[in-house]
């Protein structure tokens, strides 16, 4: 009994430590975004503000087209995710089920591609973007985001398709489903958890990506949140606008948090929906 409660206490300490350790930076940004300018730069540091202000947020929307940035980010991220899933799911299905010749080579290729650090692709992509005159075009972001996330999408979905019982598809075929109907009405609904997981990963990547967005897009009204947040500047070169930056960070993170919370429920639902065998 004694031992047990001691264990519990340790467990709770560990949990609290991990939570603080991982959430503190985010919390710091959140608190900073509500502090008045004076409190931000005050010494000794004020951890929990007594004077709360929304002025940093208001500034973001009045002095800058922040709505526009959010829309840009959302547009690019949603399309990249849709393309990654739209191309990746059929590809993964083909690799898992149709067993084409040379599928091992394809898989190895897919795997090797994931090993490249993104920065290596950067110069090449820049050349391509210039050549195709895609600068300041959303496609300059959507295409690389989709491409970079395709390998992971294909690998994850392929292994998921492989564990789906083959009988289910046979049964669907006997019932009269054609390949497309089978994919959309039988297989994809069952693959929802995997789709959501890979989709969220792609979305987060596209939402947070910085270098491509910084280089390929220079027009003010097409910038995405990470770039916009990084380029916030104060009244003079020597002033760093901590408040607006914190506010921008919070606004940039909030949609992701909401998204994950929303779909987390979906993932759990999908997993508990009922397996084939008992």
Partner 1 sequence: MAKLELKNLNKTFSGKVIPVKDISLSVEDSEFLTLLGPSGCGKSTTLRMIAGLEEVTRGKIFLGNEDITYKGAGLRNMAMVFQSYALYPHMTVQENLASGLKLKKVPRTEIITRVAEVAELLGLEELLGRKPGQLSGGQRQRVAVGRALVRKAEAYLLDEPLSNLDALLRERVRADIKQIFSAQKAPVVYVTHDQTEAMTLSSKVAVLNNGYVQQLAPPADIYNHPANLFVAGFVGSPQMNLLTLPCKGNSVILGDFAITLPKFSNLPPQIVLGIRPEHVRVALPEDTQTVKGHVYLVENLGMYKLVSVHVANSQTESLTIRALLPPEQNWHDEEITLALPSQNIHWFDVESGNLLVKK
Binding site for partner 1 (CB under 8 A): 165, 167-168, 170-178, 181, 186, 189-190, 272-278
Nearest CB to partner 1, comparing residues 7 and 173? 173
**Is the Cα dihedral 218, 219, 224, 230 positive or negative?**
positive
Nearest CB to partner 1, comparing residues 235 and 276? 276
Measured between alpha carbons, how far is 60 from 29 in angstroms, rounded to an integer? 15
Per the CB < 8 A criterion, the answer to whether 154 and 172 are in contact is: no
Nearest CB to partner 1, comparing residues 102 and 176? 176
Q: At what angle do helices 2-34 and 242-271 cross, to 10 degrees?
A: 130
> Other CB atoms closer than 10 Å to residue 74's CB: what's the count?
16
> Other CB atoms closer than 10 Å to residue 57's CB: what's the count?
19
In whole angstroms, the minimum distance from the beta carbon of 198 to partner 1 comes to 19
In whole angstroms, the minimum distance from the beta carbon of 169 to partner 1 comes to 8
Nearest CB to partner 1, comparing residues 88 and 193? 193
In whole angstroms, the minimum distance from the beta carbon of 177 to partner 1 comes to 6
In whole angstroms, the minimum distance from the beta carbon of 229 to partner 1 comes to 40
Nearest CB to partner 1, comparing residues 40 and 190? 190
* Burial (0-12, 13-18, 19+ Cβ within 10 Å), 135: middle
In whole angstroms, the minimum distance from the beta carbon of 181 to partner 1 comes to 7
In whole angstroms, the minimum distance from the beta carbon of 168 to partner 1 comes to 5
**Is the Cα dihedral 153, 75, 228, 120 positive or negative?**
positive
Q: Which residue has the tokens 């922040």?
A: 66
In whole angstroms, the minimum distance from the beta carbon of 100 to partner 1 comes to 16
Nearest CB to partner 1, comparing residues 190 and 222? 190
Residue 175 token pair: 């019932």
The DSSP letter of residue 35 is B
Measured between alpha carbons, how far is 39 from 41 in angstroms, rounded to an integer? 6
Nearest CB to partner 1, comparing residues 175 and 239? 175
Residue 27 token pair: 């919390």
């Amino acid at each position: 009994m004694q031992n047990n409660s001691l264990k519990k206490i340790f467990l709770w300490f560990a949990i609290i430590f991990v939570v603080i350790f991982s959430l503190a930076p985010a919390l710091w940004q959140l608190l900073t975004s509500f502090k008045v300018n004076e409190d931000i730069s005050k010494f000794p540091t004020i951890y929990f503000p007594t004077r709360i202000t929304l002025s940093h947020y208001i500034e973001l929307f009045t002095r800058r087209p922040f709505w526009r940035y959010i829309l840009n980010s959302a547009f690019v991220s949603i399309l990249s995710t849709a393309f990654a899933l739209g191309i990746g799911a059929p590809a993964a299905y083909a690799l898992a089920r149709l067993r084409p010749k040379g599928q091992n080579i394809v898989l190895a290729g897919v795997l090797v591609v994931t090993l490249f650090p993104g920065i290596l692709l950067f110069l090449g992509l820049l050349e391509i973007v210039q050549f195709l005159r895609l600068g300041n075009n959303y496609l300059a972001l959507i295409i690389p985001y989709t491409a970079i996330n395709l390998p992971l999408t294909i690998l994850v979905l392929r292994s998921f398709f492989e564990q789906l019982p083959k009988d289910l598809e046979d049964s669907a075929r006997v019932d009269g489903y054609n390949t497309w109907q089978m994919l959309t009405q039988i297989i994809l609904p069952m693959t929802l958890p995997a789709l959501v997981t890979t989709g969220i990963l792609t979305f987060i990547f596209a939402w947070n990506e910085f270098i491509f967005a910084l280089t390929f897009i220079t027009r003010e009204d097409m910038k995405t949140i990470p770039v916009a947040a990084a380029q916030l500047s104060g009244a003079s070169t020597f002033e760093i606008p901590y408040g607006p930056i914190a506010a921008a960070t919070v606004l940039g993170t909030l949609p992701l948090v909401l998204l994950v919370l929303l779909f987390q429920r979906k993932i759990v639902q999908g997993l508990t929906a009922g397996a084939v065998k008992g």
